[in-house]
Amino acid sequence: MHKSIATVSMSGTLPEKLEAIAAAGFDGIELFENDFIGFRGTAGELRARAADLGLSIDLYQPFRDFEGMPEPQFRKSLERAERKFDLMQALGVPLMLCCSNTSPLAMDDQALAAAHLHELAERASRRGLRVGFEALAWGRHTRYYGQAWSIVQQAEHPDLGLILDSFHTLSLHDDPAGIADIPGDRIFFLQMADAPLLSMDVMQWARHHRNFPGQGELDVERFLLQTLRSGYAGPLSLEIFNDVFREASNRRIAVDAMRSLRYLENRVLNRLQTVQARPEPAGVVQGPQAQVQVPLLSLPPAPSLKAIAFVEFAVDEPHAELLGAVLQKTGFTREGDHRSKAATLYRKGHAALVLNTEPGSFARARFGSFGASVCAIGLCVDDPDGALERATALCSMPFDSPVGPGEIVTPAIVSPGGIVIHFIPSALGQTGLFGADFALERPWSAADAAGTVIDHVALCLNLDQRDTWVLFARAVLGLASEAREQYADPYGLTSSLGVSSGERSVRLVLAVSQSQRTRATLAANAQGGVAVSHISLSTDDIFAEVRAWRDKGVAFVAIPGNYYDDLATRFDLDPDLLARLRNHGVLFDRDAAGDYFHIYTEDVSERFCFELTQRSDGYAGYGASNSAIKLAAQAQAGAGRGTELARRSRFV
């Protein structure tokens, strides 16, 4: 489909926006009036600039408060429309968007609205232009696409059609089913937007919180499907009013936009194929739906992630020694060195960590920029080549690293913010992969690969990376969103979202905060916007594990006694268990399905620590009810604030 995006959807001056939009591979734009008014140049110059970049200007918008106005205002609006038509002709824009009237002066009279729009369309028509009418969710009298369509039908002008915007329909919980029954050629334009579910004034919601399809929670997929079933074959466009997108890098936002549309198109294709494969249940009355007219993007299926194969740290030699010593205190074994790179493998059960010091490598460059930090994650997947093909088709950059003789070539991509994701063949398993790439100091037996797994990896993101990462996780990694949680850091609110694979064998937790002073923001800032802040290791006996780590000198974040007094009032806990929790400094949470025990080490490097986790009976979360306590405890420990040297003497 011809892909377009409204210029309001991103930051920058108009020329900067056009360049970002073109670079992301879009075919066209919706030109927002204010972007043109603020442009230092003529319509002809803008037209040439867009053409040079291979972009068509598909739509001019918005034309407001037009239909159903009293006569003097109507006449004045017609004059204004003529000037906008002059401009559209100079720009080469074929279509004007007229949104439903929000003025208190607007009259509740569909016949009058239709007559006015007929007049507008007639004047457009004389110049070879067209007008599309869009229902705003907060329009004075026209809020639903059904009402707008009724007015368009009454206006009876071939150059007046309907414009659909998924946000206005879905925000009002209106059913898009009826769209399929509108003749597709009467729909002149389609704007897609998603949004998080928020309970607030719909105009504020629309103007500040929209996001790209796949980033929010609206059923945009069904909306597009119904529109395509009408026979619509026009542009697929994005119109996103979002406070964060207005300030984020327009290059990244434009790539997110393209990823979003490609992912959406593919999901609709999959949904169509599923529906077509399934016979209609008896008694279902079929509307006069046309067949879908446009070819839709086919992609390899979303990867089904099986496990976290490894997490890799970028370190220099002294940090490798420091971190290696910490790992040995937490029960990891040094398994051997990489065959061709300066990298060492540590393992505890299924949890594998690689410390990479290779001079001149991507990891070393990352260390140079951000210090000791996670630089790569390996994920086991059945079809790594398919995962790579899908990822690159969804605008991810492939990552190539040198491979020595006999080593495994694993397809890899760069995730938003720079951490590399390797797709490891599940069939190979960790033993196959590490056996090929590392000179293991001792053979692995089945018993070695039991016990500990990486329960989850927690990432801290700058606020402007949140929607980028959610879309990446869903579209590229095939992960599903879990519940959003919100909690207080002593220096500002923080929220987190879990994303997990079907069997929950791969879990990531994404934490973001609007505050500049929270641990989440400081951690993210320190690594260019995206940082792994902890790795959570599972255990079957958290109390024994804590004792073993402590005996070796590992320091845990101290939890105040007040926490345990409160815990006793919240849960019906066996007094012995409560005493053990208190004595060991372990945090506790419970949901309908089970229990969660967890504890955090003091920081091992700047705002990075390990979590020990024991989950029972399908407990689904990550202990969010304890997050505020943990963050307060970390702040009081002064964790992460000391110099490297101070940490070395205190912790190792």
Site residues (CB under 5 A) for Mg ion?
Answer: 165, 191, 239
Q: At its nearest, how many Å lie between ligand DHB and the CB of residue 33?
A: 10
Entry field: residues in the chain: 652
**Interface with ligand DHB includes 148 (CB under 6 A)?**
no
Q: Are 465 and 471 in contact (CB under 8 A)?
A: no
Which of ligand DHB, Mg ion, none has residue 4 at its interface (CB below 5 to 8 Å by kind)? Answer: none
- Taking CB atoms, the residue at the shortest distance from ligand DHB is 62
3-state helix, strand, coil in the chain (%, to 5): 40, 25, 35
Of the pair 206, 530, the CB lying nearest ligand DHB is at 206
Of the pair 165, 312, the CB lying nearest ligand DHB is at 165
Residue 337 in marked binding region: no
- What DSSP line would sit under 350-394, residue for residue? TEEEEEE--TTSHHHHHHHHHSSEEEEEEEEES-HHHHHHHHHHT
Can you tell me the distance from the alpha carbon of 456 to that of 619, in angstroms, rounded to the nearest whole number?
A: 13
Residue 611 in marked binding region: yes
Can you tell me the distance from the alpha carbon of 568 to that of 575, in angstroms, rounded to the nearest whole number?
A: 8
Q: At its nearest, how many Å lie between ligand DHB and the CB of residue 28?
A: 15
Q: At its nearest, how many Å lie between Mg ion and the CB of residue 342?
A: 54
Of the pair 28, 417, the CB lying nearest Mg ion is at 28
Residue 191 in marked binding region: yes
Which of Mg ion, ligand DHB, none has residue 207 at its interface (CB below 5 to 8 Å by kind)? Answer: ligand DHB
Residue 637: closest CA among 234, 107, 646? 646
Can you tell me the distance from the alpha carbon of 506 to that of 457, in angstroms, rounded to the nearest whole number?
A: 9
Of the pair 165, 335, the CB lying nearest Mg ion is at 165
Can you tell me the distance from the alpha carbon of 220 to that of 235, in angstroms, rounded to the nearest whole number?
A: 16
Which region, left, alpha or beta, applies to residue 638 given φ > 0 means left and ψ of -120 to 50 means alpha? Answer: left
Residue 489 in marked binding region: no
- Taking CB atoms, the residue at the shortest distance from Mg ion is 165
Q: Which residue has the tokens 């949890």?
A: 351
Of the pair 97, 394, the CB lying nearest ligand DHB is at 97
Can you tell me the distance from the alpha carbon of 639 to that of 283, in angstroms, rounded to the nearest whole number?
A: 65
Q: At its nearest, how many Å lie between ligand DHB and the CB of residue 136?
A: 6
Dihedral over alpha carbons 102, 107, 110, 114 (to 10 degrees)? -80
For residue 358, count CB atoms less than 10 angstroms from its CB and return exposed for 0-12, middle for 13-18, buried for 19 or more. Answer: middle
Can you tell me the distance from the alpha carbon of 413 to that of 422, in angstroms, rounded to the nearest whole number?
A: 7
**Interface with ligand DHB includes 419 (CB under 6 A)?**
no
Which of Mg ion, ligand DHB, none has residue 260 at its interface (CB below 5 to 8 Å by kind)? Answer: none
Of the pair 168, 607, the CB lying nearest ligand DHB is at 168
Q: How far is CA 485 from the centre of its chain?
A: 16
Tokens of 275: 């529906």
Residue 534 in marked binding region: yes
**Interface with ligand DHB includes 20 (CB under 6 A)?**
no
Stretch 178-197: interaction string toward ligand DHB, x if CB under 6 A: -------------x------
Stretch 606-625: interaction string toward ligand DHB, x if CB under 6 A: --------------------
What are phi and psi for residue 59, nearest 5 degrees?
A: -155, 140
Which of ligand DHB, Mg ion, none has residue 590 at its interface (CB below 5 to 8 Å by kind)? Answer: none
- How many CB atoms are closer than 10 A to CB 504? 15
Q: Are 340 and 461 in contact (CB under 8 A)?
A: no
The gap between the terminal CA atoms of the chain, to the nearest Å, is: 58
Which of Mg ion, ligand DHB, none has residue 97 at its interface (CB below 5 to 8 Å by kind)? Answer: ligand DHB
Of the pair 97, 307, the CB lying nearest ligand DHB is at 97
Q: At its nearest, how many Å lie between ligand DHB and the CB of residue 552?
A: 60
**Interface with ligand DHB includes 99 (CB under 6 A)?**
yes
**Interface with ligand DHB includes 134 (CB under 6 A)?**
yes
Q: At its nearest, how many Å lie between ligand DHB and the CB of residue 32?
A: 8
For residue 74, count CB atoms less than 10 angstroms from its CB and return exposed for 0-12, middle for 13-18, buried for 19 or more. Answer: middle
Of the pair 136, 376, the CB lying nearest ligand DHB is at 136
Q: Which of 7, 9, 56, 61 binds ligand DHB (CB under 6 A)?
A: 61
Q: At its nearest, how many Å lie between Mg ion and the CB of residue 78?
A: 23
**Interface with ligand DHB includes 207 (CB under 6 A)?**
yes
Which of Mg ion, ligand DHB, none has residue 606 at its interface (CB below 5 to 8 Å by kind)? Answer: none
Number of residues counted as binding ligand DHB (CB under 6 A): 11
* Of residues 104-123, those binding ligand DHB (CB under 6 A): none
**Interface with ligand DHB includes 18 (CB under 6 A)?**
no
**Interface with ligand DHB includes 2 (CB under 6 A)?**
no
Can you tell me the distance from the alpha carbon of 496 to that of 505, in angstroms, rounded to the nearest whole number?
A: 19
Of the pair 27, 239, the CB lying nearest Mg ion is at 239
Report angle CA 507, 510, 512 to the nearest 5 degrees. Answer: 170
Of the pair 239, 265, the CB lying nearest Mg ion is at 239
Q: At its nearest, how many Å lie between Mg ion and the CB of residue 73?
A: 23
Which of ligand DHB, Mg ion, none has residue 62 at its interface (CB below 5 to 8 Å by kind)? Answer: ligand DHB
* Of residues 306-365, those binding ligand DHB (CB under 6 A): none
Which of Mg ion, ligand DHB, none has residue 513 at its interface (CB below 5 to 8 Å by kind)? Answer: none
Q: At its nearest, how many Å lie between ligand DHB and the CB of residue 206?
A: 6
All residues at 6 or more sequence positions from 595 whose CB lies less than 8 Å from its CB, including other chains? 588, 589, 615, 616, 617, 619
CA distance to 457, 533, 613, 642, per residue, from 601 (Å): 15, 12, 12, 15
Which of Mg ion, ligand DHB, none has residue 129 at its interface (CB below 5 to 8 Å by kind)? Answer: none
- How many CB atoms are closer than 10 A to CB 333? 14
Q: Are 476 and 413 in contact (CB under 8 A)?
A: yes
**Interface with ligand DHB includes 271 (CB under 6 A)?**
no
**Interface with ligand DHB includes 206 (CB under 6 A)?**
yes
Q: At its nearest, how many Å lie between ligand DHB and the CB of residue 261?
A: 17
Of the pair 62, 68, the CB lying nearest ligand DHB is at 62
**Beta-bridge mates of residue 611:** 536, 600
Stretch 160-179: interaction string toward ligand DHB, x if CB under 6 A: -----x--------------
Q: How far is CA 179 from the centre of its chain?
A: 28
Beta strands in 585-625 (DSSP E): 587-591, 594-600, 609-615
472 secondary structure, DSSP code: I
Q: Which of 129, 136, 182, 497 binds ligand DHB (CB under 6 A)?
A: 136
Q: Which of 14, 69, 95, 97 binds ligand DHB (CB under 6 A)?
A: 97
Contacts of range 392-401, beta carbons closer than 8 Å, 24 or more positions apart: 393/262, 393/297, 393/299, 393/300, 394/259, 394/262, 394/263, 394/299, 394/475, 394/476, 395/24, 395/25, 395/255, 395/258, 395/259, 395/262, 396/259, 396/472, 396/476, 399/362, 401/361, 401/362
Q: Residues forming the annotated binding site?
A: 134, 165, 191, 239, 456, 534, 611
Q: Residues forming the annotated binding site for Mg(2+)?
A: 456, 534, 611
Binding site for ligand DHB (CB under 6 A): 61-62, 97, 99, 134, 136, 165, 191, 206-207, 239
